[in-house]
Amino acid sequence: MMNKSALGITGTEAKVGLKTLHVLIGYGFCINLLLRISWGLIGPKHPKLSLKRTSLSELSNYQTRISKGHKPQYLGHTPLGRVSVMLMFILLGVIMITGLVRAGTDIYYPPFGSTVQAFIAEHGELPSKIKPYNDTYVDPSAKLQLGPFKSLMGNVHRYSVYLLMFILIMHIWAVVKTEVTLHPGLISAMVSGKKIIEGKAEDE
């Protein structure tokens, strides 16, 4: 999306085509995220999403034990892992919402596209006649009014994506470091769904 010109994607039709492709893939991302959040709300204990289970004292206790050379084992996420997963979910939620709003304001795609078309349509014109990046049938003052909101959503979308990339790199680094230093079978558990741990799990 950010390297359109470098990829030779110029011209309105090609740009709208790329955005449409991004939005269609984005719908897949939304369904995936909503399914995982639902599973986090109604599913079994370990995939459950809950910050209530992570107190500050539990976090510092975990860090202290690690620094003293202990290797606390968890069937689910470690306290630190839980915080990072919650942060990622919040960020993914922001990306999803701003992406959907941007899909509506930019290329008039569902779920908000028809509302946006109705808002910017010239008086007496059929909103569905408005096409992306074409000002025919558009009321200029309504379009101007929409501008700041549209760019705010675009900026939040873009910076959330940057932040997500940063958190993803940190997360992968933390997972590899935990795997190497504490040997909890973290990576194999992501594939098999089963964690092989030594001794008793803290969250059994």
Burial class (CB in 10 A: 0-12, 13-18, 19+), 146: middle
Q: Tell which one of 73, 95, 108, 117 touches ligand HEM (CB under 6 A).
A: 95
Q: Tell which one of 54, 62, 77, 102 touches ligand HEM (CB under 6 A).
A: 102
Q: Tell which one of 19, 77, 127, 184 touches ligand HEM (CB under 6 A).
A: 19
- The span from the CA of 158 to the CA of 162, in Å, is 6
Q: Rule CB under 6 A: which of 106-145 touch ligand HEM?
A: 106
Q: Rule CB under 6 A: which of 160-189 touch ligand HEM?
A: 161
Q: Tell which one of 47, 72, 93, 154 touches ligand HEM (CB under 6 A).
A: 154
Contact stretch for ligand HEM (CB under 6 A) within 21-29, 78-86, 129-137, 196-204 = 21-29
Q: Minimum distance between the CB of residue 4 and ligand HEM, rounded to whole angstroms?
A: 8
Identity (one letter) of the amino acid at 67? S
Q: Minimum distance between the CB of residue 131 and ligand HEM, rounded to whole angstroms?
A: 15
Question: Long-range CB contacts (< 8 A, 24+ apart) of 5-8?
Answer: none
Residue 138: DSSP 8-state:
B
Residue 202: DSSP 8-state:
T
The token pair at 32 is: 């995936």
**In angstroms, how far is CA 181 from the centroid of its own chain?**
29
When CB distances to ligand HEM are compared, the closest residue is 99
- The span from the CA of 64 to the CA of 98, in Å, is 39
End-to-end C-alpha distance for the chain, whole angstroms: 44
- The span from the CA of 155 to the CA of 153, in Å, is 5
Q: Minimum distance between the CB of residue 174 and ligand HEM, rounded to whole angstroms?
A: 20
CB closer to ligand HEM out of 27 and 119: 27
Q: Which residues bind ligand HEM (CB under 6 A)?
A: 1-2, 19, 22-23, 26-27, 29-30, 95-96, 99-100, 102-103, 106, 154, 157-158, 161
